[in-house]
Amino acid sequence: MLEIRDLHAAVDGTPILKGISLTVNAGEVHAVMGPNGSGKSTLAQVLAGHPAYEITGGEILYHGENLAEMDAEVRAQQGVFLAFQYPVEIPGVSNAYFLRAAYNAKRKAKGLDEVDPMEFLDLVEEQLKLVDMDPAMLHRSVNAGFSGGEKKRNEILQMAVLTPTLAILDETDSGLDIDALRIVANGVNALKRPDNAAIVVTHYQRLLNYIVPDYVHVLAGGRIVKSGGKELALELEARGYDWLLEAVA
Amino acid sequence: MSATIDQLVNREYQYGFSTDIEAETLPPGLSEETVRFISAKKQEPEWLLEWRLKAYRRWLTMKEPHWPNVTYEPIDYQASSYYSAPKSIKGVGSLDEVDPKLLETYAKLGISLNEQKRMNGVAVDAVFDSVSVGTSFREELAKEGIIFCSFGEAVREHGDLVRQYLGTVIPYSDNFFAALNSAVFSDGSFCYIPKGVKCPMELSTYFRINQATTGQFERTLIVADEGSYVSYLEGCTAPKRDTNQLHAAVVEIIALDSATVKYSTVQNWYAGDENGLGGIYNFVTKRGKAMKNAKISWTQVETGSAITWKYPSVILQGDNSVGEFYSVAVASKMQQADTGTKMIHIGRNTKSNIVSKGISAMKGQNSYRGKVHILPKAEGARNYTQCDSMLVGNECGAHTFPYIEVQNNSAILEHEASTSKIGEDQIFYLKQRGLDAEQAVSMIVSGFCKEVFKELPMEFALEAQQLLGITLEGSVG
Ligand SMILES: Nc1ncnc2c1ncn2[C@@H]1O[C@H](COP(=O)(O)OP(=O)(O)OP(=O)(O)O)[C@@H](O)[C@H]1O
Ligand SMILES: [Mg+2]
């Protein structure tokens, strides 16, 4: 589904990603870990198509197509979803209106009819339960004044509504209390299907107790310095990153 | 008005066409003769001609104001034509015999003058250059005793009413542009709502400038008698031309005891191009006087014009009267807007509410200018002002000029202001959810303007929202 080959990327002329290769197949969950500033969010933003990041080398194939050539909204319409590390506030725009616009944009791209507000409310009700969110949140402005945890839950709600093919979760577990963590993880698991995949960026092994990864990758200095199975996360938890960084240096 | 965003997105200014119609147009120039010609053309009574002439003589002694935060080449008032009317308009007020070419023009503008096809219950007075084409739903309104017709017709048919109220809120000497308007005003609308009557439909005036060198100087007078209610809409467009055209309008509102008048504008005059070529110079004086327990509410969405100079105001004359001003002003391309309001608190327990949303994009310059004046006798007066600016891009500007004068210590005034920038991150967030750049900007901007849009009648709110999307199209990468 996703094939990243020797990817280099820079922001404001500063090289951040320095040769990343990663293959993600349908049905797989990949965890990406690594120290602060190692380039995890950069990788996520590059995949989603943030204009501030420039691809300086390598390539990204998504279902065999050159992802770099697609506009951000086209990637989204084709099933790439990024749960942001820092979700953005849109004052004055209701969550319900925003969600429906996003849902309809995707439908329209597929040549399907748009759904009206009533239909949409029915549809979203199910997903609200999945993330255990108060329906009143639908009528508040997008993320405006939401607590950190509420913002993260709202990202998962959007993911549930948009049913992505490739979901990239950037530290969705940070700032969540234990219950919220379980709810978010359950949400992610419930959406898992044989034909979709997820890249889960996290600092904490405990999330991986709930969302069990098929592979764990460690990013450091803009490169993947180690890949392994789910037990790698446990090892990192016990030993930290130093031993890996030393090995690379 | 029902066109979808998609249809609109690829069009720059969809009202930029002109109508090829045989017109009687006065050659450019302004003198007492011009004033007399206009008055005679309209078969006006002597008192009105005298009033016009006084205004003209006063105007000659006045200087064009240069305190607004706008710059433009000096205006040559002799280069404009002050009267132009399609030959086919007879000025009878009824729409039965209107030239099909004119009906077609309005249909193209999305304004159906056909009463059967008209969107649910909005009566329209259609003003084309210097004259009214006709007014719809006249008979139906007349059943309630409501008078809704062109200004010219009102002068002929309801001269006493016009004479009683004309210039009582905005005297001809008020300011340079009001004086000019008083001298040469062409047509406009007149509306009278009798005591205790709630007007059963929205009333509206649609202004269209067609002729290339004609200025438009319309005048609207609304009188809401005791305990009555009316909601009034105003729309305006003009062809796309390389030269600047002058528009100096006056709107006067009188809300007698316990009356409510809601006046909404979607101003979409041609704005000129990215290089500042062409566009309308929009110098407008709008003011209402609210008597005891009366309420006047101005809502405006200003997206067009090369230059906007406009301060819809309320004189809170009577005790417990309320004045409101809700505004969205967009300055994109090379547009310059200097707009705001004046709330003059005279009566006791008077209340005013100001919500201004300024959006600047490309090389646009947007200024909010507002005055709140609490006079000595305005015991218990209150004002709330909220003034927000949004910037799209780095080359535009937002400015605020609030003036506050308080002469009574019991007054309570609150003022809030903010400036925000549409961030790349906001746009990216929405794009990541599948929306394209235009949808994203239009969503962010609509959210920003929400408090104003909710004051507009439904159809107008949708139109305004679409308009913003189009106006700002191309201002983000
Ligand atoms: N505009 C910029 N100019 C220069 N460097 C930048 C810019 N934006 C980000 N960086 C740098 O890129 C590096 C990678 O950042 P990134 O956000 O991808 O890290 P991360 O792995 O997600 O970290 P964290 O775990 O803290 O979220 C950091 O060192 C950051 O300072
Ligand atoms: Mg990060």
Characterise B227 by phi-psi region: left (phi > 0), alpha (psi -120 to 50), beta (else): left
Percentage of chain A exceeding pLDDT 90: 72
Predicted ipTM?
A: 0.95
pLDDT band at B470; cut points 50, 70, 90: low
Three-state SS for chain B is: CCCCHHHHHCCCCCCCCCCCCCEEECCCCCCHHHHHHHHHHCCCCHHHHHHHHHHHHHHHCCCCCCCCCCCCCCCCCCCCECCEEECCCCCCCCCCCCCHHHHHHHHHCCCCCCCCCCCCCEEEEEEECCEEEEECCHHHHHCCCCEEEEHHHHHHHCHHHHHHHCCCCCCCCCCHHHHHHHHHCCCCEEEEECCCCECCCEEEEEEECCCCCECECCEEEEEECCCCEEEEEEEEECCCCCCEEEECCEEEEEECCCCEEEEEEEECCCCCCCCCCCEEEEEEEEEEEECCCCEEEEEEEECCCCEEEECCEEEECCCCCEEEEEEEEEECCCCEEEEEEEEEECCCCCEEEEEEEEEEECCCEEEEEEEEEECCCCCCCEEEEEEEEEEECCCCEEEEEEEEEECCCCCEEEEEEEEEECCHHHHHHHHHCCCCHHHHHHHHHHHHHHHHHCCCCHHHHHHHHHHHHHHCCCCCC
pLDDT digits (tens, 9 = 90+) for A53-94: 999 999 999 999 999 999 999 999 999 999 999 999 999 999
pLDDT score of A51 more than 60: yes
Question: Tell me, what's the pLDDT at B5?
Answer: 27
Atom of ligand 1 nearest to the CA of A14: 4
Question: Tell me, what's the pLDDT at B249?
Answer: 94
pLDDT band at A173; cut points 50, 70, 90: confident
Looking at residues B313-328, what average pLDDT do you find?
97
Q: Which residue in A156, A199, A164 sits closest to A181, CA to CA? A: A156
pLDDT score of B475 more than 70: no
pLDDT digits (tens, 9 = 90+) for B168-212: 999 999 999 999 999 999 888 999 999 999 998 888 888 777 777
pLDDT digits (tens, 9 = 90+) for B400-454: 999 999 999 999 999 999 888 887 889 999 999 999 988 888 889 889 998 898 8
Nearest CA residue ID for atom 10, ligand 1: A11
B-chain residues near A73 (CB < 8 A):
431-432, 434-437
pLDDT digits (tens, 9 = 90+) for B357-383: 999 888 899 999 999 999 999 999 999
Asked if A76 lies within 8 A of B431 by C-beta distance, the reply is yes
Search chain A and give the residue with CA nearest B425: A88
Q: Which residue in B255, B279, B254 sits closest to B267, CA to CA? A: B279
Helix A148-162 × helix A117-130 angle, to 10°: 120
Looking at residues B331-351, what average pLDDT do you find?
94
- Cα B187-B232-B110 angle, rounded to 5 deg: 75
Search chain B and give the residue with CA nearest A97: B443
Of B122-131, B140-149, B229-238, where does the model show the most confidence? B140-149
A138: CATH: 3.40.50.300
Question: Tell me, what's the pLDDT at B222?
Answer: 97
Ligand having the closest approach to the CA of A85:
2
pLDDT score of B6 more than 50: no
Query: Ligand 1, residues A41, A171, A219, A236: which to mutate, most atoms within 8 A of Cβ?
Result: A41
pLDDT band at B393; cut points 50, 70, 90: confident
Distance A178 CA to ligand 2 centre (A): 21
Asked if A77 lies within 8 A of B434 by C-beta distance, the reply is yes
Question: Tell me, what's the pLDDT at B96?
Answer: 67
Asked if B447 lies within 8 A of A77 by C-beta distance, the reply is no
pLDDT score of A174 more than 80: yes
B-chain residues near A109 (CB < 8 A):
434
pLDDT score of A16 more than 50: yes
Number of domain units in chain A: 1
Question: Nearest CB to A48: which of B426, B430, B432?
Answer: B432
Search chain A and give the residue with CA nearest B428: A50
pLDDT digits (tens, 9 = 90+) for B10-22: 346 667 677 777 7
C-alpha span between B276 and B332 (Å, rounded): 10
Question: Nearest CB to A88: which of B426, B439, B451?
Answer: B426
Query: In this predicted structure, which of A89-93, A225-229, B215-219, B273-277 has the lowest mean pLDDT?
Result: B273-277
pLDDT band at B114; cut points 50, 70, 90: low
> What is the residue range of A205's domain?
2-248
Q: What is the Cα B119 distance to its own chain's centre?
A: 21
Looking at residues A90-114, what average pLDDT do you find?
94
A-chain residues near B433 (CB < 8 A):
76, 98, 101-102, 105, 158, 162
pLDDT score of B2 more than 50: no
Establish whether residue A9 lines the binding site of ligand 1, counting it when its CB lies within 6 angstroms of any ligand atom.
no
